[in-house]
């Protein structure tokens, strides 16, 4: 997997990679991560990927991180 660049945002670490004719967008927050794969033929290039990741999408990513943390805490609490 080839690292292309960091995608600046105010919410989490976002990285762009290329692998097997796909762009891989990886979001990381603490011990959680989300990965999205986009076929290279479906976008014009790296710039279009950044345009796709607007405030609305980032808000959903952040909310999903919160849900992931809540779900994991619930699992941990259930084993106590």
Residue 16 pairs in a beta bridge with 5, 25
Question: Cα 37 from chain centroid?
Answer: 10
Task: Quote the pTM value.
Answer: 0.90
Distance CA 19, CA 48 (A): 17
- 24-79 pLDDT, tens digit per residue, is 999 999 999 999 999 999 999 999 999 999 899 999 999 999 999 999 999 999 98
Residue 6 pairs in a beta bridge with 15
């Amino acid at each position: 997997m080839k690292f292309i660049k960091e995608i600046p945002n105010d919410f989490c670490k976002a990285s762009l990679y290329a692998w097997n004719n796909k762009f891989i967008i990886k979001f990381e927050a603490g011990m959680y991560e989300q990965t999205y794969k986009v076929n290279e033929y479906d976008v014009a290039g790296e710039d279009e990927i950044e345009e796709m990741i607007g405030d609305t999408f980032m808000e959903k990513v952040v909310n999903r991180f919160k849900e992931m943390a809540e779900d994991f805490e619930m699992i941990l609490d259930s084993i106590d």
